[in-house]
Structure 1
Amino acid sequence: MNNNEPLVIDYFSDVLCIWAWIAQRRIEEMKEEWGEQVLLRRHYINLFGDTKTRMAKQWGERGGYEGFGRHVQDAAAPYDNAPVNPEIWKTVRPKSSLNAHLVLKACELAYSPQRSADLMLLVQKSFFVDNLDVGLLDNVLLLAKQSGMDSDALKTLIDEGDAAALLMSD
């Protein structure tokens, strides 16, 4: 690496992961301090691809969705800049993070990795703070549209498999 090339960091996460929500503030601090000297490449992995099975296997004897919701609140409590809705996982239970990840990859293809990262932060906030079901494709496409993106173009990239192909490369 010469002095003109940024340090590349491959960052793997899932939009429904509380630790990714908490870590976002550190990522922002890193970008503020190091600017273009660091290039963060986001990759999305299947942590919450099937939340029903995850909750049954990992949280079935610890309160299921409600127990996991308490865990999420407890994990975020020490971090003022990672607010969490007290109803998290109680009333809104995304079945999968797949649709959100597909929209984010479509955004990356149609716009840029930075626009996708901005949308990812909005998706996370919409889930963790606003208690929006970001497992629903229409909800995530609406967030993209509200951010000034062409949701029809994103949907086409999903329908034609381009977004899935890019996601599978993660």
Structure 2
Amino acid sequence: MSLPISHYSDLLCVWAYVTQPRVDQLQDTFGDAIDLGFHYVPVYGAALDKVDEHWGRKGGLAGYNRFVTGLVDELTDLPVHEGVWVENTPASSAPGHQWLCAARLAEADDALPAGATAKLAWALRKAFFAEARNIADHGVITEVTETAGVAVAPLLERMRDGRAQAAFSADLAETRAMNIRISPTMTLNEDRQRLTGNVSYDVLEANIRAML
């Protein structure tokens, strides 16, 4: 039986971007011994308000751009675009989250192959952080999906009939009920353990090995 792990993040969160390789490494290390479920917490549901709240007196979008690019360069070898957050700024992470909820449903219905949702989430994150693309724009989202090799039709079907929005609403309700406000947050052992923010790979692995 696999160990269920829930991973909550926001597509526009730089901490989720820099820690994603650690999540990938966990999957490579433990394989079928863990069952990672991906959910979305709306840290940047109103992205411009969020940045203004924390960076309005520290240079606004330009100041946040300097922080994000510096952080990615300092902590990882991941690519980061010099214009992230100041070029093609997304208004919200919600459109991308709804699209990923559609992918998650399609994957559960076998309309998409296993792993398609995680693959698409990474493609959208890279499009934003590495290419400074507006991943709140439906056209951009669709193009990124096609480029990633993920079928668009099953996602559109679940967007049109409201199932994706219902799943997104359920994620929102769950994060509120569990008081999850930090991206990323990983919960284990029926939420008896939480690992939040910039947690090292060694700590993540140790906690999972202890649970297993």
Residue 102 of structure 1 aligns with an amino acid whose one-letter code is Q
Distance 1:147 1:83, change over 3 A: closer
| CA–CA distance in structure 2, aligned partners of residues 11 and 167 of structure 1 | 15
- Of 4, 9, 15, 2:11 maps to 15
Q: CA deviation at 1:167?
A: 1.2
Q: Which residue of the partner structure matches residue 73 of structure 1? A: 69
Superposition TM-score, scaled by structure 1 size: 0.90
Q: Which residue of the partner structure matches residue 164 of structure 1? A: 165
Superposition TM-score, scaled by structure 2 size: 0.73
Q: Which residue of the partner structure matches residue 127 of structure 1? A: 128
- Of 24, 39, 45, 1:43 maps to 39
Distance 1:77 1:148, change over 3 A: closer
Give the match's secondary structure for 1:134. coil
Q: Which runs of 5+ in 1 are unaligned?
A: none
Farther-moved stretch of structure 1 (148-157 vs 84-93): 148-157
Residue 135 of structure 1 aligns with an amino acid whose one-letter code is A
| CA–CA distance in structure 2, aligned partners of residues 25 and 88 of structure 1 | 20
Q: CA deviation at 1:22?
A: 0.7
Q: Which runs of 5+ in 2 are unaligned?
A: 109-113, 172-212
Q: CA deviation at 1:81?
A: 3.0
- Conserved? CA contact 1:106–1:163, under 8 Å: yes
- Conserved? CA contact 1:142–1:151, under 8 Å: no
- Of 53, 75, 80, 1:57 maps to 53
| CA–CA distance in structure 2, aligned partners of residues 9 and 82 of structure 1 | 25
Superposed CA RMSD: 1.5
Q: What is the identity percentage for the equivalent residue pairs of Structure 1 and Structure 2? A: 27
- Conserved? CA contact 1:103–1:141, under 8 Å: no
Structure 1 residue runs of 4 or more that deviate by more than 4 Å after TM superposition: none
**Residue deviations 1:67-118 (CA, integer Å, cap 9, x gap):** 1111111221223332211111111210001111111111111235621110
Q: Which residue of the partner structure matches residue 156 of structure 2? A: 155
Residue 66 of structure 2 aligns with an amino acid whose one-letter code is R
Q: CA deviation at 1:40?
A: 0.9
| CA–CA distance in structure 1, aligned partners of residues 50 and 75 of structure 2 | 25
